[in-house]
Amino acid sequence: MELTLEQRNHFDKEGYLFFPNLFSQEESQYLKAAVPELYKRREEYNFREKGSEAVRTNFAAHLYSKPFAKLARHPRMIKPVEELLGERLYMHQFKINGKMAFEGDVWQWHQDYGTWLNDDLMPSDRAMNVAIFLDEVTEFNGPLLFIPGSHKKGFIKAKHDLTTTSYPLWTLDNELITKLVDRAGGKEGGIVSPKGAAGSVILFHGCLVHASSNNLSPFNRISVYLSLCAVTNHIRRFKRKEYIAHRDFTPIECLPDDCLVREYDVNLPWENGVPASAFQTSLQELSE
Ligand code: SIN
Ligand code: MN
């Protein structure tokens, strides 16, 4: 899958690309079918919504679940990012966000690179997210909201919010968001929210400002996010636990394109449990 010049230009200008129906229903259903069993587990890697049993985020399933281990090496997820960053990639973070019917809570306005720099000391923004919808995303179930072109601002100083939701986030204030939305066109395109069928994919720049509101609908909005980082841009500090911010900087080797519909062998290093080392953290900067 090669990006067209038009797609490259769109990414450069707007900070994201949307690929409706990039995966078939069969492929996305295969992934979705594996989620309930993962969400049921009483494990630290399942963050639940504040005051609720609903899973907000499951981390690192690519290390203990076969369908997600395959997704983590899928060429349709990896190759476009490899092309845009011009380098081999490693998996910085892997998460399955629930945004469950009625329970799925807000994600405040933020840039992902804010967290990657502030917490993990990732040297530059040569990393980005690629997300696949496992449910249809509509205006009702809390779609992602982007401020187009906001990635051009680069890293923006943020505030560490530890209280609003169950997950800490470096968030941006309303005054700044108002300015950015205004600059991006205000009511005429200052906020966009790509919506579409299960199997659709969004790729977005690490500095693109985004958010999502809570899900008041009776429809789940499960999506999987791969945060992919250029290998030479690996994090320099292990302040967050390893199941949240990975420490294996080995370049990802893609599987064949049909890996979600055919049998392939994949390595599941955490299949029998998360190693104790993955819960250890250090505030020390890594030496080169
Ligand atoms: C994120 O920003 O990391 C997740 C947002 C969402 O799933 O709505
Ligand atoms: Mn984010």
Q: Is 101 helix (H, G, I), strand (E, B) or coil?
A: coil
Q: How far is the CA of 135 from the centre of ligand 1 (A)?
A: 14
Name the closest-CA residue to atom 1, ligand 1.
107
Per-residue CA distances from 81 to 130, 216, 232 (Å): 8, 33, 15
pLDDT in tens, 182-231: 999 999 999 999 999 999 999 999 999 999 999 999 999 999 999 999 99
Q: What is the tens place of the pLDDT at every residue in 26-40?
A: 999 999 999 999 999
- How many whole angstroms from 129 Cα to the centroid of ligand 2? 8
From the alpha carbon of 95, which atom of ligand 1 is closest? 3
Lowest mean pLDDT among 48-62, 71-85, 157-171: 157-171
Say yes or no: CB of residue 210 within 6 Å of ligand 1: yes
From the CB of 108, is ligand 1 less than 6 Å away? no
Encode burial over 90-106: b for 16+ CB neighbours within 10 A, e otherwise.
bbbbbbbbbbbbebbbe
Mean pLDDT of 242-258: 98
Superfamily grouping for domain 23-264+271-279: q2cbj1_9rhob like domain (2.60.120.620)
Q: Phi then psi for 56, rounded to 5 degrees?
A: -85, -50
Residue whose tokens read 């980082």: 229
- pLDDT tens figures, 125-145: 999 999 999 999 999 999 999
Q: In terms of pTM, does the model score above 0.85?
A: yes
Residue 115 · residue 170 · CB < 8 Å? yes
Q: For residue range 70-128, what is the model confidence (pLDDT) as tens digits?
A: 999 999 999 999 999 999 999 999 999 999 999 999 999 999 999 999 999 999 999 99
Task: Provide the residue ranges of all domains of the chain, joining segments of one domain with +.
Answer: 23-264+271-279
CA-CA distance, 98 to 175, in Å (whole number)? 29
